[in-house]
Amino acid sequence: MEVRTLDYHTAGEPLRIVTSGLPGIPGETMLDKRRFMKEELDHFRRFLMLEPRGHADMYGAVLTGPVTPDGDIGVLFLHNEGYSTMCGHGIIALVTAGLEHGLFEAAAAPLVRIDTPAGRITATAHYDSRGRIDSVSFLNVPSFVLHEQHRVDVDGTPVDCTIAFGGAFYAYVDAEPLGLEVAPGEASRMIHLGRKIKECVNREEIIRHPTGEPDMNFLYGTIFVRQGVEPGHSRNACVFADGELDRSPTGTGVSGRAAIEVHKGRLKSGEILKIDSFIGTRFEVRYRETVEVAGIQAIIPEVRGSAHICGEHRFVLDERDPLGDGFLVR
C-alpha cells in the first residue's frame, strides 16, 4: 500500500489530504460514500490517522467526485474515531490546497462548490496583493439550535448545555462555572470533561436532525465557551470524536455558536463574531440569511479563516509490520 498526501493546517488544526492511493468511492449521495468508506475502506483511515503515521489529534480528508450537477468536488472527513459529516477547518484547508496545487477544477474559481455529507458548501478563496490565497470563507449548511437548555449529570455535577447544529451537533457549555479559562494548560481536563458530557448526551438519545436523516443523529463533540472582555469576542475549545481537542476555533462549531447567538437575539445579520481557539488562533463568523429546516428556524453562517501548507508525504505499508493497522495512545 502507498498513499500520498498534502498536509495543511488551519489555525493550528491539521488536515491530511489524500492525493493518491485510494480506490474510487461509489455512492449516489455523500452519505452513501461515507457509509461505503466506513464499511469497506476503513483501513485507509486507520493507516493515515492513527499512530505511527498519525496521532490522537490527526484529521484528514478524502476527495471524491461531486454528487450534484453543479458541484466541483466531494469530500469525506476522517478522524481518530471515524467520519464527520462536515468540517469547517477542513473546508478552509481543502480550498487553499486545492487551488494552490490544482487538486481539482473549479468552474467558477475562486468560488468552489463542495458536496459534503451534511450538504452543499460554497467556499470562496480570497487573495492578497501578491496573488497568494490569504483566507477562505464559506457559506455553511443551515445551522440551528436543537435544545436551548439541557442538563446532564457528569460525575455527580450538573452541567447545563445548549445543543446546536452547524454541520454536526455539539453540546455548548459555559466554561466559567466549570472553572475553565479555555487555555492550553487545561487540555487534559477539557478532554476529560468533554468526553464525559458527550457520553451523557449520546446516552440519552435526544439528537434528531429535523430532516430525519439517521446518519446525522449523534453528538459529535462538546464545545467549551469562554466569553471575552469585548462584545462579539469569545474563546472556543472543542473536544470531538474520541477525545480530539481541536486547535482551531472549529468551523462547524462557530456556525452553531452563531445560531445560538441569533436564537438569543444577540447577533444581527452582518455582524461579525470573532471566536478564538484555546491556542489563540481566530475564525470570524456572521450570517446573512435565515431559512427554515423542517419547521426549525436556521441561519446560513459564513465562516472565514486561513490555512497553510505543512508538507507532502508518501506513506507506505510494510506487509511485515505488526502495527500496520495503526494504534492510538492518548
Catalytic residue IDs? 87
- 153 shares its domain with 280: yes
Residues 17, 106: Cα–Cα separation, whole Å: 17
Amino acid at position 134, single letter: D
Please determine, for residue 40, whether its predicted confidence score (pLDDT) is greater than 90.
yes
Residue 11 and residue 128 in one domain: yes
Residues 6+ apart with CB under 8 A from 298: 142, 143, 144, 259, 290, 291, 292
Q: Which three cell numbers stand for residue 117?
A: 455529507
* 19 belongs to a structural domain: yes
Q: For residues 212-240, give the mean pLDDT.
A: 90
Instruction: For residues 123 and 38, state if they share a domain.
Output: yes
Task: Find the mean pLDDT for residues 241-255.
Answer: 97
Same domain flag for 80 and 122: yes
Q: Span 192-203, mean pLDDT?
A: 96
Identify whether 325 is part of a domain: no
Residues 132 and 219 in one domain: no
- Checking phi first, is residue 181 left (phi over 0); if not, alpha (psi -120 to 50) or beta? alpha
User: In this structure, are 162 and 115 located in the same domain?
Assistant: no
Q: What is the pLDDT of residues 269-294, one digit of tens each?
A: 999 999 999 999 999 999 989 999 99
Residue 172: which CATH number? 3.10.310.10
Predicted confidence (pLDDT) at residue 228 exceeds the cutoff of 70: yes
Longest dimension (CA), the chain: 60
321 part of a folded domain: no
The conformational region for residue 48 under phi > 0 = left, psi -120 to 50 = alpha, else beta, is alpha
Strand-pair partners of 76: 62
Angle between helices 251-263 and 88-101 (to 10 degrees): 130
Question: How far, in Å, are 121, 146, 321 from residue 166 at the CA level?
Answer: 12, 11, 40
pLDDT score at 233: 87
Q: Do the Cβ atoms of 48 and 314 come closer than 8 Å? A: no
44 & 124 share domain? yes
- Tell me the pLDDT tens digit for each residue of 76-88: 999 999 999 999 9
Query: Is the same domain home to 82 and 215?
Result: no
Contact 251, 92 (CB under 8 A): yes
What is the DSSP annotation of 175-197?
A: SGGGT----GGGHHHHHHHHHHH
Cell of 61: 480528508
Asked if residues 67 and 74 have their Cβ atoms less than 8 Å apart, the reply is: yes
Q: What is the pLDDT of residue 101?
A: 96
Q: Please report whether residue 53 resides in a domain.
A: yes
107 with 148, same domain: the answer is: no
Q: Where are the beta strands (DSSP E) in the chain?
A: 2-10, 13-20, 60-64, 73-78, 83-84, 111-116, 119-127, 133-139, 144-154, 157-165, 169-174, 219-227, 233-240, 244-245, 273-276, 282-293, 296-305, 307-316
> What DSSP string describes 240-263?
ETTTEE-SS--HHHHHHHHHHHHH
Residue 87's CB is within 10 A of a number of other CB atoms, namely 33
- How far is Cα 101 from Cα 92, in angstroms, rounded to an integer? 14
The verdict on 172 and 90 lying in the same domain is no
- The band of 229, judged by pLDDT with boundaries at 50, 70 and 90, is low
107, 161: one domain: no
Looking at the domain assignment, is residue 131 inside a domain?
A: yes
Q: 48 and 170, same structural domain?
A: no
Within a domain: residue 323? no
Does a structural domain hold residue 26?
yes
The predicted model gives 174-197 an average pLDDT of 96
In a domain, 121, yes or no: yes
Provide the 10 A C-beta neighbour count for residue 51. 15
Report residue 280 as a C-alpha cell. Answer: 489563540
Query: Average pLDDT, stretch 287-304?
Result: 96
Kindly state the average pLDDT of the residues 222-230: 87
What is the number of domains present in the chain? 2
Cα 305 to Cα 9, 95, 124, 228, distances in angstroms: 11, 11, 11, 19
> What is the domain extent for residue 283?
144-304
| Closest residue by Cα to residue 138 from 232, 10, 291 | 10
**pLDDT tens sequence across 145-163:** 999 999 999 988 899 999 9
Work out the mean pLDDT of the chain and round it to a whole number: 96
